[in-house]
Structures are given as C-alpha cells and as structure tokens.
C-alpha cells in the first residue's frame, strides 16, 4: 500500500507557517505578496470578501467537501486553532450555501482568522455586521446537507491554486493570495522592497519627475514594437 493511500481522511496535526511570519505578512497587501511570489498564488477573482474592509492572514486549514455538503467544515472547526484560516474546496458550487451566520459566530468564538470558500455562503448582511472575514465565490439562501464525507488537511485546489495545510493565506479587498509555507518567510523582505519601490514610483508621478516607467522603452523594443535606438 502506498503512503498516500495510507493517509487518513482527517489529518489532525499539521505544520503551520510560523506566527511571526503571519504577523509580518499581514502588513502587506495581497497584491504585493502575489507579485513577489512570482505573480502566482492569487485565487480566482470570483472568490472575494463579503465586504471590501475584510482582511486577514494566517495558516491554511484545508477542507475538501462534496458540493452542497458542509459536514467536513464542521469537523474542521472542531480541529481549528486560533489564527487558522479555514480554506474550503467547495468545487465552485453555488447551488447552496456552505456557511452562514451561526457558523461564522462559532468561528469568531474559536478564534478562527477567516474562511475562504470556493462555493456559496448566506446570511451575508449578518456576517458583514459581525466583521468576520468571509471570502466566498457567491451567495445562495439554500442551506447545505451534512452527511457526505470529505477530507481535512490534505492538499486541495481552490480558485485555480494548490493549497497545502499550513500554507500562508492572505486576503483583502483585492482577493486572496496563497504562498507555500516553506517559501513565506523569504517573501517578506522582497515585499518590503517592492512597497518601497512602488512608494518611490508614486512619489515620482505625483511630483511629475517620473511620468513614465523607466523600463518602458526596453520592454517595447524586446516586444518588437519599436526598433533599437528608437524611443516613444
């Protein structure tokens, strides 16, 4: 029997991205982290926060469910530790909600940092009032079933991105970015450098000293738009 075949459906213990890395990553926009991670790791734009003000950072607790069934989300909440982000592969199904106000209240009481669902939720007004960071692919008033088994803390695919248990997950008004646990700490100095460079660029635009990117002509030549020696 292979090692993969021997793994239980529910993995209780995982290695999480360190808390200090999470705290430092929370200082950066999801867009900056996606850029320094190679312009990858950003979930499909259909997965958005219920409010633009919602933001979070934390380690992923991964959940795989069958469409329309939230049994394993309840199991994930039973295992979640404070600061965890519950990341749910709901198969993109929007025919019924997988979570609502009651489960969101429970997440707040448990100290869960956020929930990210490739699926639907409901009670959106109540969740926004609660302020709990809920990121979902859509809304639907239908409730879920609770009897189909799934898996916890296995690698999943959500919004076109592979997510493993313990990976760094960051979300804000632009969406959600995932960075591999082992890679996360190395991205933070790069993120700080990028923020400094962008701040300088914006200052140059505002004072009208740099109204075009310094790389533009070279990129246009490399693309064959202008010839060597030419400029716009």
54 is in an annotated binding site: no
Any known ligand binding at 127? Answer: no
3-class secondary structure per residue, the chain: CCHHHHCCCECCCCCCCCHHHHHHHCCCCHHHHHHHCCCCCECCCCCEECCCCCCEEEEEEEEECCCCECHHHHHHHHHCCCCCEEEEEEEEEEEEECCCHHHHHHHHHHCCCEEEEEEEECCHHHHHHHCCCEEEEEECCCCCECCCCCEECCCEEECCEEECCCCEEEEECCEEEEECHHHHHHHHHHHHHHHHHHHHHHHHHHCCCCCCCCCHHHHHHHCCCCCCCCCC
Query: How is residue 45 written in tokens?
Result: 């734009």
Is 102 annotated in a binding site? The answer is yes
- Residue 131 three-state SS: coil
State yes or no: 103 annotated in a binding site: yes
Residues in the chain: 232
Taking the C-alpha atoms of residue 57 and residue 189, their distance in angstroms, rounded to an integer, is: 17
Residue ranges of the annotated binding site are: 100-103, 122-123
Residue ranges of the annotated binding site for substrate are: 100-103, 122-123
């Amino acid at each position: 029997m292979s090692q993969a075949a021997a793994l239980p459906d529910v993995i209780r213990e995982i290695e999480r991205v360190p808390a200090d890395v999470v705290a430092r990553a929370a200082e950066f926009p999801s867009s900056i982290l996606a850029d320094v991670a190679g312009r990858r790791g950003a979930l499909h734009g259909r997965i958005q926060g219920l409010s633009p003000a919602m933001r979070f950072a934390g380690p992923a607790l991964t959940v795989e469910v069958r469409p329309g069934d939230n049994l394993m989300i309840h199991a994930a909440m039973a295992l979640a530790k404070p600061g965890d982000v519950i990341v749910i592969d709901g198969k993109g199904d929007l025919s019924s909600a997988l979570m609502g106000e009651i489960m969101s209240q429970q997440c707040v009481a448990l100290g869960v940092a956020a929930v990210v669902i490739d699926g639907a939720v409901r009670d959106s007004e109540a969740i926004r009032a609660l302020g709990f960071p809920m990121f979902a692919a859509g809304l639907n008033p239908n409730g879920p079933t609770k009897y189909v088994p799934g898996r916890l803390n296995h690698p999943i695919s959500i919004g076109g991105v592979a997510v493993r248990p313990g990976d760094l997950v960051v979300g804000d008004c632009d969406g959600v970015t995932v960075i591999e646990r082992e890679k996360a700490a190395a991205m933070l100095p790069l993120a700080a450098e990028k923020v400094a460079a962008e701040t300088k660029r914006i200052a140059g635009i505002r004072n009208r000293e740099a109204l075009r990117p310094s790389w533009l002509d070279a990129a246009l030549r490399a693309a064959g738009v202008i010839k060597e020696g030419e400029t716009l």
